[in-house]
Amino acid sequence: MTGGGDVPGLNPAIRAITVRAQREGYRVLGIRKGWEGLIRIDRDRPAAEQDYCQVLTGETVNKVGRTGGTFLHTSRTQPSKVKKKAVPPPLQKAYAQEINDLTPEVIQNLDHLGIDHLIPIGGDDTLSYAWRLHQEGCPVVAIPKTMDNDVAGTDYCLGFSTCVTRTIELSNQLRTSAGSHERFLVVEVFGRYAGFSALLPAMAGACNRCLIPEHPFDMERLTEILSEDRRRNPSNYSIAIVSEGARFADGGMVFEGEEADAYGHKKLGGIGDQVAARLKELSPQYNNGEQVGIINQRLGYLVRSGHPDAIDSIVPVAYGNIALNLLLAGKRGRLVSLRDGKYGDVELKEVIASKKRVNIQKHYNTDRFRPDYRSFENKPLFIMSCED
């Protein structure tokens, strides 16, 4: 089962799990549309006839395992907090509160489907509910997925490498327009609470400066530094990558609207627009009275769509097989992990026990809005570990 946002790497993980599980003699069911699928099971029908359930075989998953997204589909559903209007019609009489806990239905549906082991693949929201099911006695082993790389307990989450790769590629492509017109280039990327998806491309040289959620930024200081960068560049342009959750020093996050998803998150978006507008407004102060033009681009779903890169094709195979090893060993309530370059597992509770964020004291120059790496020795592949 896959939940939350889609990322490249999900289908390879589903393929690895299915092929290995069948080899071990298991029947494999894919739950469609994440946790939503598990509140919509029709207990009057067998598993093979369910709309939200799909029997998986090697033939089903082999070709799709090379593709991006999730062919099982996904949703942002939280079964313990289902709004009244989202309760499936057959359950509306029994669950008529404004907010409803449908966990009893989920457990009965798992029993009805004959599921002995559940492998949810998702981020901290999806996996926090997986921990709830484990506490209720359901046998769960989880796999971390999020392009923000912000699941606690692991150095790596599926989708992160492809996100960084695409961000670098697209930012570098945009340089031709920025240089041709001698402008500031503002690139907005995903990253609600954690700035890894902006910081790593900055380390790779995809931008001059990056703004991350962990540290509020001063707009005048940013304009001053980007103007310096622009003057030093022979092509007379400079680039800033902005996490969607970045915050002005004099304000909070920027949202598209007030409506929240099932996990209570309002949709972010627009910080790049505001940074671009204020850069243009402030630019004459640092450019001899002349206003600097702006190119403003929100990468959004471009970095989470399409096929996985090499790392997001290899790591899912390892994660899927480790999940099966844990099940075969009778272990439950575990999170497959990658720490200090080694595959393993940790208690699933780590997902909710702490928050994984950029350690700005170790890795971010708050005055220069840049990554701060003084040494690389004995660091993991992506420099920052979950223990930072």
Residue 255 confidence (pLDDT) = 59
How would residue 305 be classed by pLDDT, with cut points 50, 70 and 90? very high
Percent of the chain with pLDDT over 90: 89
d(Cα 191, Cα 40) in Å, to the nearest integer? 31
Structure tokens at 351: 């997902």
Residue 374 confidence (pLDDT) = 82
Comma-separated ranges of CATH 3.40.50.450 domains in the chain: 10-158+309-353
Read off the pLDDT of each residue in 147-168 and give the average, rounded to a whole number.
97
Provide the CATH number for the domain formed by 10-158+309-353 in this structure: 3.40.50.450
For 51-93, what is each residue's pLDDT tens digit? 999 999 999 999 999 999 999 999 999 999 999 999 999 999 9
Could you give the residue numbers annotated as active site?
A: 148
Residue 101 confidence (pLDDT) = 98
Read off the pLDDT of each residue in 332-355 and give the average, rounded to a whole number.
96
Q: How crowded is the C-beta side of 208, counted as CA atoms within 13 Å?
A: 22
From 27-41, 151-165, 239-253, the region with the lowest mean pLDDT: 239-253
Dihedrals phi, psi of 99, to nearest 5 degrees: -125, 130
d(Cα 125, Cα 127) in Å, to the nearest integer? 5
Length of the chain as a residue count = 388
Long-range pairs of 308-312 with CB within 8 A, sequence gap ≥ 24: 308/8, 308/9, 308/11, 308/12, 308/68, 308/159, 308/162, 309/8, 309/161, 309/162, 309/165, 310/161, 311/161, 311/162, 312/7, 312/8, 312/9, 312/12, 312/158, 312/159, 312/160, 312/161, 312/162
How would residue 379 be classed by pLDDT, with cut points 50, 70 and 90? confident
**Strand 99-100 to strand 53-56: parallel, antiparallel, or no bridges (unpaired)?**
unpaired
For 92-101, what is each residue's pLDDT tens digit? 999 999 999 9
Query: Residue 377 above 80 pLDDT?
Result: yes
Please enumerate in sequence order all residues whose Cβ is within 8 A of that of 228, keeping only pairs 6 or more positions apart, or say none: 286
**C-alpha closest to that of 170 among 304, 370, 314:** 304
Read off the pLDDT of each residue in 278-290 and give the average, rounded to a whole number.
97
Structure tokens at 237: 């342009």
Residue 270 confidence (pLDDT) = 86
309, 8 Cβ separation under 8 angstroms? yes
- DSSP assignment, residue 363? H
Query: Residue 118 above 80 pLDDT?
Result: yes
Residue 263 confidence (pLDDT) = 54
How would residue 105 be classed by pLDDT, with cut points 50, 70 and 90? very high
Q: How many CB atoms lie within 10 A of CB 259?
A: 8
Read off the pLDDT of each residue in 167-188 and give the average, rounded to a whole number.
98
Query: Residue 240 above 70 pLDDT?
Result: yes
Read off the pLDDT of each residue in 338-363 and give the average, rounded to a whole number.
95
Query: Residue 152 above 60 pLDDT?
Result: yes
Please enumerate in sequence order all residues whose Cβ is within 8 A of that of 177, keeping only pairs 6 or more positions apart, or say none: 183, 185, 295
d(Cα 179, Cα 184) in Å, to the nearest integer? 9
Structure tokens at 385: 């570990």
Does the domain spanning 163-302+361-371 belong to CATH 3.40.50.460? yes
Residue 262 confidence (pLDDT) = 58
Query: Residue 190 above 70 pLDDT?
Result: yes
Residue 88 confidence (pLDDT) = 96
Comma-separated ranges of CATH 3.40.50.460 domains in the chain: 163-302+361-371
Please calculate the CA angle 25-27-30 and round it to the nearest 5 degrees. 140
How would residue 256 be classed by pLDDT, with cut points 50, 70 and 90? low
- What's the first-to-final CA gap in the chain, in angstroms? 30
**C-alpha closest to that of 41 among 98, 97, 90:** 90
pTM of the model: 0.94
Residue 142 confidence (pLDDT) = 98
Question: What's the mean per-residue pLDDT of the chain?
Answer: 94
Beta strands in the chain (DSSP E): 28-31, 53-56, 82-83, 99-100, 121-122, 141-144, 184-189, 209-211, 238-243, 255-260, 266-268, 294-298, 334-339, 342-347, 364-365, 370-371
Instruction: Give, to the nearest 10 degrees, the angle between helix 160-181 and helix 311-328.
Output: 160
How would residue 253 be classed by pLDDT, with cut points 50, 70 and 90? low
Q: Which residues pair with 142 in a beta bridge?
A: 335
Percent of the chain with pLDDT over 70: 95
312, 159 Cβ separation under 8 angstroms? yes
Residue 85 confidence (pLDDT) = 95
DSSP string, 205-261: TS-SEEE-TTS-B-HHHHHHHHHHHHHHSTT--EEEEEETT--BTTS---EEEEEE-
